Amino acid sequence: MTHGRAVLITGASRGIGAACAHAFAARGDRVAVHYGASESAAGAVLAGLPGEGHVMVNGDLRNAQEVRAMVDAAAEGLGGIDVLVNNAGVFFDHRIESSTYEEWQQAWADTLGVNLVGAANVTWCALQHMPRQRGSRIVNVGSRGAFRTEPQSPAYGASKAGMAAMGQSLAKALGVEGISVTTIAPGFVETDMAEGHLEGESGIAIRGQSPFNRVPTAQEVADAVLFLASPEAEWASGTVLDFNGASWFRL
């Protein structure tokens, strides 16, 4: 017997995605744990989820055909898709002043391929399985880097800015079908992706950007995603939620 909602989370083998998987499963939802390369990590996340009906799906988000097959597999395993969390993301340092032309091109292709075009393709494919009724949700995990600038990784900032714009466009397009679309924009988060930046003097400076003198846990971000995906958050559709502990502001 199935219960709860069917939730597809991309990049759910670690960090924010893994925390989101646990948060949704804890409230009784069925979760599809997507991974790109870390099969063992995704398997560990899947094995640790409370409840039943969860599945694990694989696909390179840079490959449109793999995306379609992955989303279809998730929908088949879950019995549909009610909630999509576009969480998968990559970050590469590629300073324009020091990258070779080949490195520069590859960084843009890989970053946009996963963070923006991949997310767009996952969204299109997931929509084919979403019920056209009030309550379906799409939550994009963006970044304050979309607005603050990312001089070491301009493709990352551009991809997240594109994600925010995409989310607002889709909120307008899909609201008539009862589907809410939101984007959350965290700063640094306590994950293995940010681990190198949060060590030593760099970590002290980053934590000092917030008056709370810390960065959030992945669980705190997951709790916010859970709210944006909730029935109570329909009127937040089109929102880009800054989630950075007052470390940076935009007007």
Q: Is residue 248 part of a domain?
A: no
Q: Is residue 189 part of a domain?
A: yes
Domain count for the chain, please give it: 1
The CA distance from 239 to 217, in Å, is: 22
Mind listing the pLDDT tens digit for each residue in 184-211?
A: 999 989 877 777 777 888 889 989 899 9
Least confident among 25-39, 93-107, 120-134: 120-134
Query: Is the Cβ–Cβ distance between 124 and 183 less than 8 Å?
Result: no
Catalytic residue among 35, 156, 188, 243: 156
Q: Is 156 a catalytic residue?
A: yes
Q: Is residue 193 part of a domain?
A: yes
E strand or H helix that includes residue 111: helix 101-112
30, pLDDT greater than 60: yes
Residue 8, token pair as written in the block:
């597809």
Q: Is residue 247 part of a domain?
A: no
Q: Is residue 107 part of a domain?
A: yes
pLDDT, the chain, mean: 95
Q: What percent of the chain has pLDDT over 70?
A: 98
E strand or H helix that includes residue 145: helix 145-148
Domain that holds residue 145: 6-242
pTM: 0.95
pLDDT range class, residue 3, cuts 50, 70, 90: low
Q: Is residue 96 part of a domain?
A: yes
Q: What percent of the chain has pLDDT over 90?
A: 88
Instruction: Tell me how crowded residue 134 is: count the other CB atoms within 10 A of its CB.
Output: 11
Q: Is residue 250 part of a domain?
A: no
E strand or H helix that includes residue 45: helix 39-48
CATH of the domain at 181: 3.40.50.720
Taking residues 29-34, report their average pLDDT.
98
